[in-house]
Amino acid sequence: MDNLYVALQKNAQRTKLPVPMFDRSQISIWSILKQCIGKELSKITMPIVWNEPISFLQRFTENALYSYLLDRADECTDPHMRMQYVAAFAVSSISNNCDRLSKPFNPLLGETYEFVRDDVPFRYMSEQVSHHPPVSAFTCESKNNGDRWRFYGSILPKAKFSVKNMEVNPKGLLTLELKRHKEVYTWESVTCTIHNIVVGKLWFEYHGTMEIVNHSNKIKAIINFKPYSWSSKELHKVEGYIYDGNKNKIRGLYGYWTDALYSIDINHFEAFLKQQKKDLKNASKNPPQQATTAVAAAAANGADSNDPDEELPDVDPTHEQLNLPPNSITLWRIIPKLDYAAQYYNFSLFTMALNEWTEQDKKTRPPLPPTDSRFRPDIRQMEEGNIDLAGQEKDRLEEKQRVSRRALEKRREDWQPRWFRLMKHEITGQDVWVSNEKYWQRNWNVCPDIF
């Protein structure tokens, strides 16, 4: 992680966006979302001020930031150790979402995005392959044409609204191939819930069970993303196990997706969890005076102390003092957040670079396809602080997309993605989008005119 952080700092062409984010204090998100109940996430029209100046295709690139973990997995001779690093990568892939409450721009049909940098050990490309339903396909591979590993899949975000929260379920199978070991891993991401969309300060959490399967030897990692606990005051916590091919627990996994993930000897881990439960039980019998006073005050104001949507979660900072068992292994740790991140949509240095395309880039790097997200005028205008122009360009692009769709329907033709094809997953039997291996040939004559 340290080498990656140093590389990002050293090689960053820009460390900030052209202008800070807009003030949203006078805008009610509920006045917008209440009109969206029952709609697909891609059909939700929100004021552009609630967007962040990147496309969803660009935002998903962030999932590969800690791909050095896949390099480490490839280097391991022990299959159980490989699974631990794959599990750490899966957990790390959502860590860039911490404090990110803005909505990325919905990709246009046929939109693409590529990310290649000399200081980052992977190359990535994605395409919006379907509009109804909205499906984004991606492929990411190690340098040297993916000789070590390939990570690919597709995402179909589903949103569900209630009076107090919004639940986003990123449907889609994710696949990792470790080529030298002839191993195939699959998993799906977990649900994200955003609280307090009616009143109060927004906050969100990931929750649910992530099951990572190595189909070559049946080794599994089962990781529980725990919902916020009002009794232990712990937020963003993950716990899980590595299982061998005979379903025996062999390692414990523990940490916070916003911070780090650790691997722990199974016997020590079971004792560690047992002690935690004991400590929590004792604490509930003798709650601190401050907590008791807070609950009483909430009750006096008519609030339900068991309702997480009535207030911000009360997090006990001592949970960061993990007191882990001896010989615990740090699998992954998050790159520190920028001091000024809150002024720029809580972007990291890596995210700051996603929409960058300088005059020097045009001279020294291979040409991008005209469908690349960096060429979207609405995103570019928003990044530069021209909010009204950004909204006008967004409306123009969406109308252009509708006109193109009607023309296709009139000709009775179906949309054909340029860089991906739909096929049956050879192991799971599910329909998956995979690269047709043509993108890196860089023949842009086949690209549609979408901007």
Strand 112-116, strand 103-105: pairing: unpaired
Give residue 11's pLDDT: 66
Contact at 8 Å (CB) between 301 and 309?
A: no
- pLDDT value of residue 7: 64
Entry pTM: 0.90
- Indicate the helix (H) or strand (E) that contains 392: helix 387-410
Residue type for position 46? M
Identify the pLDDT of residue 298: 40
CB-CB contact of 207 with 225 (8 Å)? yes
AA identity, residue 262? Y
pLDDT at 30: 58
Residue 191: what pLDDT? 93
Would you state the pLDDT for residue 165? 85
Name the 3-class secondary structure at 323: coil
Query: Residues in the chain with pLDDT < 70?
Result: 1-12, 25-46, 286-311, 315-321
Q: Contact 281/267 with Cβ under 8 angstroms?
A: no
Q: Is 373 exposed, middle or buried (0-12, 13-18, 19+ CB in 10 A)?
A: buried
CB count in 10 Å sphere of residue 107: 27
CB atoms near residue 368 (< 10 Å): 18
Contact 323, 264 (CB under 8 A): no
Fold for 1-281+321-441, please state it: Porin (2.40.160)
Return the pLDDT at 164: 80
Any idea what the Cα angle at residue 274 is, between residues 237 and 259, rounded to 5°? 20
Delimit the domains of the chain by residue range. 1-281+321-441
Query: What pLDDT score was predicted for residue 297?
Result: 40
Angle between helices 68-75 and 79-92 (to 10 degrees): 170
pLDDT of residue 119: 83
Dihedral sign, Cα of residue 342, residue 343, residue 346, residue 352: negative
